Amino acid sequence: MRRLHILRHAKSSWGEAGLDDFDRPLNRRGERAAAALGVYCRQIGLAPDHVICSPARRTQMTWAAIAPYLSSLPSLPPPRTIEQPPAAYGADARTWRALIAAVPTDAAALLIIGHNPGLEDLARSLSGGDPRLTAFPTAAFATIAFDAAGWRQAMAGTGLLEDFQVPKLLV
């Protein structure tokens, strides 16, 4: 069984005038949500073999906030590969599917961290439009399971939504 963990970055700041979208940091609310999400990831034993994270500042900060909670589990190894492809910034669902399809077959658990609307569209598509995915707010986290030989076979409508969390349920 393969598991795709989809995480939208936590809430970012619009406070700095003239700051490029790519460079926006998390705001205080986002920092709290990311920390709460880290605790949740530890509770569920999240252990990704592979991570794909948008190179944008807010996604990098989200990853940095949850990563210590993953490495604090002595029985779990750290991810073997952490990618930051430029294509993940603002990626649509089709681009995400291409990035996912390129993940090595030996990675059974994949964590992707990115932006909307691409992640929301991806989650809905892969889960066959699961009705729990009515919105994908900042710091939303979903796990979709696939009975597939490799990531190339993780196609639209073939996944089962196993978990969906939003920040207001975690903080």
Q: How many domains does the chain have?
A: 1
pLDDT value of residue 14? 86
Nearest to 107 by CA among 51, 41, 163, 43: 51
* Residue span of the structural domain in which 47 resides: 2-170
- From first to last of its 171 residues, the chain has per-residue pLDDT tens of 999 999 999 999 987 778 899 999 999 999 999 999 999 999 999 989 899 999 999 999 999 999 988 866 566 566 778 899 999 999 999 999 999 999 999 999 999 999 999 999 999 999 999 999 989 999 999 999 999 999 999 998 999 999 999 988 876
* CATH number assigned to the domain comprising residue 64: 3.40.50.1240
Q: How high is the pLDDT of residue 78?
A: 64
- pLDDT for 54: 98
